[in-house]
């Protein structure tokens, strides 16, 4: 049997996006990415000609992953130099395997007034509050994900013993709504664009959202390995500058953002156009400045709840001269 890191390397090898032939003196940055909510990266990937430094001062080898947890492993194994990351995988990677990385930019976050992940039940369900969930089956996208931990926190906040009163089952985001409709789960975790589709159908009802746990809450950010960044600070600075430029472009040219996202995700333009970069979508800031206070609060909440075995300090994940916005 392959060791975990070896298996992970084999899995990602087929997902690498081939880079064009480059001069030997152009440094190559290995960057992990996933779907959804990474429009800045999608633009750099599909429209590299819009970024003068890309291909001249540095190049990118794009490597796709299925989520932020395997990206934390890849960053620790030096398979990637920079990757999309979420608060929990970065924290667990640091605690469990000594992952050392800097938070350099922010992709999306949740706040009131924008879309936030929520928990839904059937429209005609007798479930009206957390108390009504005792003895019920709850659908989560992945055990150990941020949305899983937030659901646990919300339940505990409302007096539910998450080890005795409820049962969790894994259901991917795409089939989540059908799992609720069929009765496979009594409550499910809803994310875009699947939330939008279920809302249009009108047979599900929101029970609560992650804003009841924490708001604002950072969903995903960009993280680069400490080893690589300290050895190649100018490369990482160039990359962060281009990410900022890409974020500014997609926010000012929504039509382009929708088109590029469709190319990458293969989701229909008509579907993406209904929510992408609107108040029905996650929040984004043009300068990509990470909300470090929010990430610290998430870690504090998770430590207090026992999800993390030790407290963390956000300053250990910051290099002040390499963090958005970089001029």
pLDDT digits (tens, 9 = 90+) for 226-270: 999 999 999 999 999 999 999 999 999 999 999 999 999 999 999
CA 194 to chain centre: 16
For residue 184, the model assigns a pLDDT of 97
Residues in CB range of 33: below 8 A, 6 or more apart: 41, 45, 62, 63, 64, 65, 83, 84
What is the pTM (predicted TM-score) of this model? 0.87
Contact between residue 73 and residue 199 where contact means Cβ atoms under 8 Å apart: no
pLDDT at residue 5 is higher than 80: no
For residue 146, the model assigns a pLDDT of 83
pLDDT at residue 17 is higher than 80: no
Contact between residue 171 and residue 139 where contact means Cβ atoms under 8 Å apart: yes
For residue 73, the model assigns a pLDDT of 92
For residue 24, the model assigns a pLDDT of 59
To the nearest 10 degrees (0 to 180), the angle between helices 87-97 and 68-76 is: 40
161-175: buried (b, 16+ CB within 10 Å) or exposed (e) per residue?
ebeeebebeebebee
pLDDT at residue 48 is higher than 80: yes
Q: How far apart are CA 99 and CA 167, in angstroms?
A: 32
Average pLDDT value over all residues in the chain: 92
Kindly report, residue by residue over 72-114, the tens digit of the pLDDT: 999 999 999 999 999 999 999 999 999 999 999 999 999 999 9
Share of the chain above pLDDT 90, in %: 85
Handedness of CA 113, 118, 122, 124 (dihedral sign): negative
Kindly report, residue by residue over 69-80, the tens digit of the pLDDT: 899 999 999 999
Residues in CB range of 315: below 8 A, 6 or more apart: none
For residue 68, the model assigns a pLDDT of 87
Omega before residue 77 within 30° of 0, cis: no
């Amino acid at each position: 049997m392959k060791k975990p890191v070896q298996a992970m390397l084999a899995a990602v090898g087929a997902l690498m996006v081939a880079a064009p032939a480059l001069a030997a003196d152009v440094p190559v940055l290995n960057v992990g990415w996933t779907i959804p909510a990474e429009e800045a990266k999608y633009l750099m990937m599909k429209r590299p000609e819009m970024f003068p430094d890309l291909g001249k001062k540095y190049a990118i080898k794009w490597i796709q992953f299925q989520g932020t947890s395997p990206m934390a492993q890849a960053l620790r194994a030096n398979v990637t130099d920079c990757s999309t990351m979420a608060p929990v995988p970065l924290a667990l990677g640091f605690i469990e395997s000594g992952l050392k990385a800097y938070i350099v930019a922010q992709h999306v976050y949740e706040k009131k007034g924008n879309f936030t992940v929520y928990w839904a039940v059937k429209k005609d369900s007798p479930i009206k509050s957390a108390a009504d969930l005792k003895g019920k089956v709850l659908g989560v996208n992945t055990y150990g994900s941020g949305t899983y931990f937030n659901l646990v926190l919300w339940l505990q906040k409302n007096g539910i013993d998450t080890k005795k009163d409820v049962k969790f089952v894994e259901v991917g985001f795409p089939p989540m709504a059908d799992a609720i409709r069929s009765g496979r789960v009594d409550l499910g975790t809803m994310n875009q664009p699947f939330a939008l589709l279920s809302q249009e159908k009108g047979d599900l009802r929101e029970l609560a959202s992650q804003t009841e746990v924490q708001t604002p809450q950072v969903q995903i950010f960009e993280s680069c390995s400490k080893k690589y960044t300290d050895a190649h600070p100018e490369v990482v600075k160039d990359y962060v500058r281009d990410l900022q430029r890409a974020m500014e472009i997609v926010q000012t040219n929504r039509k382009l953002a929708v088109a590029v996202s469709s190319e990458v995700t293969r989701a229909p333009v008509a579907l993406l156009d209904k929510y992408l970069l609107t108040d029905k979508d996650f929040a984004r800031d043009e300068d990509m400045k990470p909300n470090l206070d929010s990430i610290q609060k998430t870690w504090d909440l998770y430590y207090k709840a026992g999800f993390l075995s030790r407290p963390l300090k956000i300053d250990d994940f910051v290099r002040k001269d390499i963090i958005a916005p970089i001029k």
